[in-house]
Chain A
């Protein structure tokens, strides 16, 4: 690569410290398990622990010394929420944050190859690649240190899972001494390894060469069909199957193990779980975001985020794991636990909201009860992660987090249990275990 000059000079040292980050944010065809919440706002911007999902990524990247630019790659149309978010992020973190829109869904690797010139502009030493829908403590500096110790084209972040749950993720077999990835398989049907792929990578510029090989090979093969029989468009590259699985064991891919918090955010239930993980992290990283009990204020139990513009009555009891968004009104005697209340919602007096997400601008009437059922990983097992969640089993709706979509109105004194209410619905009675259209 041209940027690695063989003549040592000051310029080389300055270039060596330059890093970039790429966040893969997907598009409307992806993240459909997040509906009806993703009808209002693109999933990467959904607030988790009070802040948009990818803001956690950007905050972590901005703290790595030498970070020059953050690129978002996806196939959402650049609409207002996204544009506003980009502007706000640039201002807050003093870093260029740009959105590169794919012309078609190109898979997890296609966008990287397509925009390679933008990524390599300025000659970065390495660039992070982060999936938007993960929740993590982002040990980026540790990954960078490992990379600098022994540069390789691909460095994956890995964590451990228990045997049964590892089948839901990308499994990595590593050499325990060298940390080389010997074998990689995505969602195997039998147990391969208890180390799983976190979806957070550090690539050096050399990584683009294998991507180019895959791209050219796909072009030559013409129409492609992968194992599930779906036709994939030209230019799509799946990082996991086409690159990692193919190159494992050839000295190119290495793994860095991490035992901090990690979770995928695929559904509303996992967003709530991720919220709890991040709120716990705030004790160390952002203690100012956690609400404290103050005289004349509501009673706080555990980790709670309250937006400064929210109005919460003093007799309310909040927590643990509660996030209250902008302009929310919480009435007298309300009990909130393990829930997210999105902006503009109103909870009237004496309501009880447990394990639920209350959508933007919704209203819950007096004495009503909105309750879901958590599907959290077993707290007794430190390596447990959320199970891959399906909505139905044998034709019956599985009990899960209750979701109220945007502008839903719940009357007084009713019970909404384990249900999903689509946006703009006005209910007139209690519902349990239903999807209310």
Chain B
């Protein structure tokens, strides 16, 4: 990229990448041979170009003089001017690229990264009995017997995976603990979480820091974030009378729905309607996790 920048000698170079659905992003229109950028189009309605700003730039110090001392968006205010003056060039990125702002894209990005690791530094990936495909395991992580890990899994430092666990396409962050016989697919398990036995998590379930998932639960795509005020309510709605220190996804807990997923396992539970109206500030129809059963009387008071 530095070579490219020195070669054309103008003020700025940005990396662009080719995507399948450019209208979700800011699109770059440039000359095919030199790479000189003509203009930017933000979220075009019709197809203009399939190259988008990959978010990596090399800028000469002269660019700083273009920025005024106030909150400025470089993409919206500086780059279009530079493009008009012919000072901005685009270089196409050869490798993989992903916007990993959304959990779903984060997991796809992880798959791309592991794939590139397989090509460039395969010795970093894990292999052995129970390991399938591209799996990255920190040396301090522990995996039990009769597990099936992978493809596309990364286990962080201090992670403990007990016997008989199946993990596919997940990221497990530092010090998380997955108990035996559970099945995880397309999940992000946060730092220091504890996932119980016989748990099934799928469909981009995201657990924030230090979340406990009780045994035998089924989580289908919720995001459970321990520091949100929702988690405080989660605490009082959890099973039985204990007041655990950490937020607990127990039977009948309402966890925040990611995106607009409104999968609801309704049971013969009259309290469900009350829960729905309590959380009217959020997207309606959060995901009810766990097996619905007549809630303990204390649980409803938490609303």
Contacts and interface: CB of A to CB of B under 8 A. Distances in A.
A369 B218 CA distance: 9
Given A350-B164, A355-B291, A369-B183, A375 B268 contact: yes
A387 B267 CA distance: 13
A428 to B, nearest CB: 16
Contacts, number: 61
Contacts of A211: none
B218 A417 contact: yes
A350 B218 contact: no
Given A371-B218, A373-B267, A335 B197 contact: yes
A354 B202 CA distance: 18
Contacts of B163: 333
A349 interface: yes
B148 to A, nearest CB: 8
A222 interface: no
B24 to A, nearest CB: 29
A350 B216 CA distance: 11
A137 interface: no
B166 A367 contact: yes
Given A337-B216, A371-B291, A352 B181 contact: yes
Interface string A361-373: 0000011010101
A354 B265 CA distance: 15
B293 interface: yes
A392 to B, nearest CB: 14
A295 interface: no
B9 interface: no
B219 to A, nearest CB: 11
Nearest to A371: B218
B261 interface: no
B233 interface: no
B291 to A, nearest CB: 7
Given A352-B200, A380-B294, A399-B267, A367 B183 contact: yes
Contacts of A366: 166
B216 A373 contact: no
B34 to A, nearest CB: 50
Interface residues of B, number: 23
Nearest to B163: A333
B183 A413 contact: yes
A333 B180 contact: yes
B265 A373 contact: yes
Nearest to B180: A333
A413 B293 CA distance: 25
A379 interface: yes
Interface in B196-227: 197-198, 200, 202, 216, 218
A240 interface: no
A397 to B, nearest CB: 11
Given A335-B197, A399-B267, A417-B265, A374 B293 contact: yes
B164 A333 contact: yes
A141 interface: no
A354 B293 contact: no
A86 interface: no
A335 to B, nearest CB: 4
B265 A350 contact: no
A415 B200 CA distance: 9
Top 7 A-B pairs ranked by shortest CB distance? A352-B198, A335-B198, A350-B181, A333-B164, A333-B181, A367-B183, A350-B164
18 contacts: A332-B164, A335-B181, A350-B183, A367-B181, A367-B183, A369-B183, A371-B218, A374-B267, A378-B294, A380-B294, A399-B266, A413-B166, A413-B183, A413-B185, A415-B200, A415-B218, A417-B218, A417-B265
